[in-house]
Structure 1
Amino acid sequence: MLTFMTSQTPGCSKKRMVRWPGLALKMAHLKAGLTQARVVSARNTTLPGKSPNQGPPEGRQLPTTSRVGGPQPLSDSASTAGPAEPSFSELVPQLFTRSSLWQNMTPRARARQLWLLLRTGLHDFVEKEKRAELRMACLTHGLEPLRRLEVAAGLYSVAQDPVGRRFVVLDGAGCLHLHREDGWAHEKLLAPIALTGLVSVLGPLGSVGRFVGWGPTGLAILRPDLSLLWLSEPGVGRAPGCEPICCLPVPDLGLLLVAEADGSLALWKFRSGGRSLVPRGSPLQPPPSSTGVLVRLALGPLAPHHNPCCFAAYGSAVLTFDLHTWSVTDMRRDLHKT
């Protein structure tokens, strides 16, 4: 194949066409698939006055390919006056530019060698693109599913430990599963006592007693290593048979909200730097007009010049509790209908 190149001689206003034997490489697709590669080789044509085994004209180098970067498109024109633009020869091993064996090859033999090199490079490119497609993308907003955790014995509770950078999963068999932030399992422990729920304590109170658990035996405080630190005494702070079913720490105030099985809401206070709990006031019962069982607890916003409060959802009704006076201040019914 004849490749015609246009060169501009300094001081001359005319352009001349030079016939040059070479190899024109074209790739139809060089993207994720890199499924096709075409090499257009030339027939054995020589310049006038040149032998078939001679190399390219002086000052020219044979366009070649790079095993690392792959083929690049050929330039249609080049200027001999200005600096030469980067070509394939800058990325090709010296074997293809300075080797006498390469210089003595016919264009057909050179095309075959370049095709073998290109075929190997295409395989590397395809594998690289496959790995890039399987790599997890990073989102700047929204939620992205990372991993699904299966708990064979049934899931009871999940507590997030920001300080320890882990999740603690409580299952129905009384085991504690420790998972890293990315969800990978790290360790499995047996709970020190029978528990039905677990929640983490944030702030300075959590430096000693990191978790609060509850179950048939009452309330319990666990250390960061999930060993037992404190256990409530039977009958203290609750009526007989009133098992705690949900807890909500209020670390800024050093309080703990405890929902009991009979629908009442109790308030406890941390003592000794989070090493124990004592009841504060009597448990509050929901108004008789409220129907349904307690299903959720939530803290209210800490607004200036307002007493801290919490919300308790009883079916379709929501009650507001003042944490300072420990009383019911508001009740909204049938919120799901509004």
Structure 2
Amino acid sequence: MVEERRLAVLRAIVEDYVSTEEPVGSKALVERHGLGVSPATVRNDMAQLEEEGLIHQPHTSAGRIPTDKGYRVFVDRLAGVKPMSSAEKRAISTFLEGAVDVDDTVRRSVRLLSQLTHHVAVVQYPILSNSTVRHVEVVAMTPRRLLVVLILSNGRVEQRLVEVDRDLDDDAVADLRTQVNRAVVGERLTAAADGLAALRAASGEGRDAGPDRGLEPGAATTDAAGVTADVVGVLVDALADHAADQRVVVAGTANLARFGEGIDTVLRPMLEALEEQVVLLKLLGEATTGGGVTVRIGAEGPLEELSGTSVVTTGYGVGPDALATLGIVGPTRMDYPGTMAAVRAVARYMSRILDENG
């Protein structure tokens, strides 16, 4: 009972400090939170919490504020990520469903996340190497020109043209489409490339062609094996495109002004970090799956110069595997339940949109 009461006192201190940005006293806690005990008892509990390093007194005769350790206990003891309201869900859905492609989805998501949390939002583009091949379409534009469309699970669509020097009938195109899809559908990109290599070898490619055969529109082919080799070459090229794409977009840097006290020591390194893609990727960390939200508080983060911040992240994607990560960076004095809910909600909507548009 005593332990639970002290946790309730810690929770009340965190909530009040996040709300007011002022150190919290025992009398105010009793009045605002109905703890059911006297101010003297609350003072004793606060003394114990301070001894445990969960709160501290910034000034003599002042109230208490949470430490990073206190925030960590608060976050770890949350019953769960609070659900967003129906109005908030509708707003997210309406805003994101207006996106026309992956780029637009990412741009809308990072802007929305910064608006919902009032922090700096960071969204990583879907990583191509983490995605799988959903479908390959081969369409005869003319008897001697094929359009090859590669559709990935992250919503990206790549299109290539292949020129051939003989007419292809519908049966030949359908057979080619079947061969290619059998080799790559459902496979991650590395495995898909291996499947294409096997298909190319089976087609007899290489007997009279150089290593770059078929990678450019207009490559000449003289038989069915050559057509297969050219289409495979184009697909290999498409798979390689953007495979090392590690782009990250940022929104809401103006929210840094909300840091309040200590902004001078946080703002400059924060702005410098936001300019470095490698730093941002490290800040986001590894993508998580299953809707889990990762919270790193203060010095728990990967960058010493940003030890005055907290980072809340989660993964997004289609199926059980996360394609990439999104999250926010803000002061340790933040509304953790609300921020975690917003991060998770935006990730879920992004995943759903990528799935529907894929």
TM score, norm. by length of structure 2: 0.21
- Greater relative contact order (Cα 8 A, min sep 6): structure 1 or 2? 2
- Choose between structure 1 and 2: higher strand proportion: 1
- Choose between structure 1 and 2: higher helix proportion: 2
TM score, norm. by length of structure 1: 0.21
Larger radius of gyration: 1
